[in-house]
């Protein structure tokens, strides 16, 4: 600086000093700009300020987002809304609960239509078991049943698309479609040597409810196939048929019943369980419970009975079966039930998306959790391929055998 002072005017020295300071400041600003949090580099994304829980370091998320927008070779094709949907889907999927899912607008619309029944499908209830898309039960008389689909079948592909990374709702969306069109399912079964492809034509799905039959020796069978809003009235009609027959022992067949409305299960349980007795417990995250009790229809409280279950018995079906065993000591005959013992709530989100979230688990009156494990029968009877080929039903035969001793 002394050298400059000897040869330059004071005003020039000031200008040079200011230039140096500005350059230093500019360099600092540039370095600071490049090192700023990645969230600040992603411009025009609403809701950033609310997306950072204090307990969680969210910087990596925004760093990845920033690098995608900066370096991805086809960044002109990046759809920011799809990035958001993908991020939310991954967030929800990380819980490991196949029944808690995020539904983007199109899937949410499909879900609402399905609830109303305005869809074409194959007539099979499916779920996720051990991370594998699995058939809970084909509905009676459905295209799925006619094509040979069975409870417990594992679905590896839908129209050639692997199911490995599909959510339950995505898989359902692939299976359902326009009436009259065909869907190809690649399945495995314990009795298969290799996977097989079943081609099923979609139809309007009509959900059956009840079948009744006299089995001789004073034994009557009510096969309950579904729990929907008509089920209580249909069951009432079946009870009337039973009471006015000359039969006094009952087989309640709940095989291949994928469940449905809890209220329907409670109403039907009330024919067998004394008034006020617990039918089911709904346990929430904070440990609180909602208890569902019998209405006490009373008519069948002392009727000798057994219950048939299998791997296609799920959800509300397991509630009914568990209550009858816990309260009445009724024997369950057949195979281990599916293990769908959780309660979902659908929340509508902004932009016509939805979140289906598991909010509670179902417990039997004695506090046994149904979820994942299912119910083990008192008399475990597996139906073998040779039984099916010969038209035998060893589970029903065992039910009749036990009822004769009651």
Q: What is the pLDDT of residues 337-353, one digit of tens each?
A: 999 988 888 899 988 99
Of the listed ranges 12-21, 364-373, 390-399, the one predicted with least confidence: 12-21
Contact 271, 239 (CB under 8 A): yes
> Which is the catalytic residue, given 154, 340, 356, 398?
340
Contact 163, 171 (CB under 8 A): yes
> Which is the catalytic residue, given 326, 354, 356, 398?
326
How much is the CA Rg of the chain, to the nearest whole Å? 31
Is 340 marked active-site? Answer: yes
- 283-327: pLDDT as tens digits: 999 989 999 999 999 899 999 999 999 999 999 999 999 999 999
pLDDT at 110: 73
Of residues 224 and 17, which shows the higher confidence score? 224
Contact 155, 135 (CB under 8 A): yes
| Domain limits, the chain | 2-34, 41-78, 101-204, 210-403
Contact 225, 260 (CB under 8 A): no
Query: Rounded to whole angstroms, how far apart are CA atoms 318 and 383?
Result: 20
pLDDT at 6 over 90: no
Encoded tokens for 111? 């879900």
Query: Rounded to whole angstroms, how far apart are CA atoms 117 and 264?
Result: 18
Mean of all residue pLDDT scores within the chain: 85
pLDDT at 49 over 50: yes
Instruction: Provide the pLDDT confidence category of residue 387 given band limits of 50, 70 and 90.
Output: confident
Contact 179, 202 (CB under 8 A): yes
Q: Which fold has domain 210-403?
A: 2-enoyl-CoA Hydratase; Chain A, domain 1 (3.90.226)
- 52-105: pLDDT as tens digits: 556 778 889 999 999 999 999 998 899 999 999 999 999 999 998 888 999 999
> Which is the catalytic residue, given 315, 335, 342, 354?
315
pLDDT at 46: 59
Contact 271, 300 (CB under 8 A): yes
Is 335 marked active-site? Answer: no
Of residues 206 and 98, which shows the higher confidence score? 98
Is 326 marked active-site? Answer: yes
Taking the domain 101-204, which CATH number applies? 2.30.42.10
């Amino acid at each position: 600086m002394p050298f400059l002072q000897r040869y330059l005017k004071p005003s020039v020295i000031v200008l040079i000093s200011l230039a140096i300071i500005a350059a230093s400041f500019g360099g600092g600003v540039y370095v600071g700009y490049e090192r700023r949090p990645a969230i600040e580099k992603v411009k025009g994304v609403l809701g950033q300020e609310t997306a950072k829980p204090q307990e969680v370091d969210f910087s990596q998320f925004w760093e990845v987002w920033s690098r995608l927008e900066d370096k991805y070779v086809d960044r002109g094709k990046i759809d920011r809304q799809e990035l958001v949907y993908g991020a939310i889907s991954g967030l929800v999927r990380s819980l490991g609960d196949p029944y808690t899912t995020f539904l983007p607008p199109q899937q949410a619309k499909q879900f609402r239509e399905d609830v109303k029944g305005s869809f074409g499908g194959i007539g099979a209830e499916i779920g996720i078991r051990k991370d594998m898309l699995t058939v809970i039960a084909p509905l009676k008389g459905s295209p799925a049943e006619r094509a040979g689909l069975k409870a417990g079948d594992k679905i590896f592909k839908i129209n050639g698309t692997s199911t490995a990374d599909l959510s339950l709702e995505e898989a359902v969306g692939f299976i359902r479609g326009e009436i009259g069109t065909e869907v190809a399912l690649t399945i495995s079964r314990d009795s298969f040597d290799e996977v097989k492809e079943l081609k099923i034509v979609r139809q309007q799905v009509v959900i059956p409810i009840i079948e009744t039959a006299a089995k001789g020796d004073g034994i009557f069978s009510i096969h309950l196939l579904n729990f929907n809003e008509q089920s209580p009235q249909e069951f009432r009609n079946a009870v009337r048929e039973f009471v006015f027959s000359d039969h006094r022992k009952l087989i309640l067949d709940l095989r291949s019943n994928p469940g449905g409305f809890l209220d329907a299960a409670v109403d039907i349980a009330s024919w067998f369980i004394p008034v006020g007795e617990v039918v089911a417990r709904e346990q929430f995250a904070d440990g609180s419970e909602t208890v569902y009790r019998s209405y006490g229809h009373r008519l069948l409280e002392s009727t000798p009975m057994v219950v048939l279950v299998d791997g296609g018995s799920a959800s509300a079906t397991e509630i009914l079966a568990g209550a009858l065993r816990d309260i009445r000591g009724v024997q369950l005959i057949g195979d281990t039930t599916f293990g769908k013992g959780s309660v979902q709530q659908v929340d509508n989100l902004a932009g016509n998306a939805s979140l289906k979230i598991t909010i509670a688990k179902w417990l039997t009156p004695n506090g046994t959790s149904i979820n994942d494990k299912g119910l083990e029968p008192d008399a475990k009877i597996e139906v073998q391929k040779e039984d099916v080929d010969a038209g035998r039903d060893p589970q029903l035969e065992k039910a009749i055998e036990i009822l004769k001793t009651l």
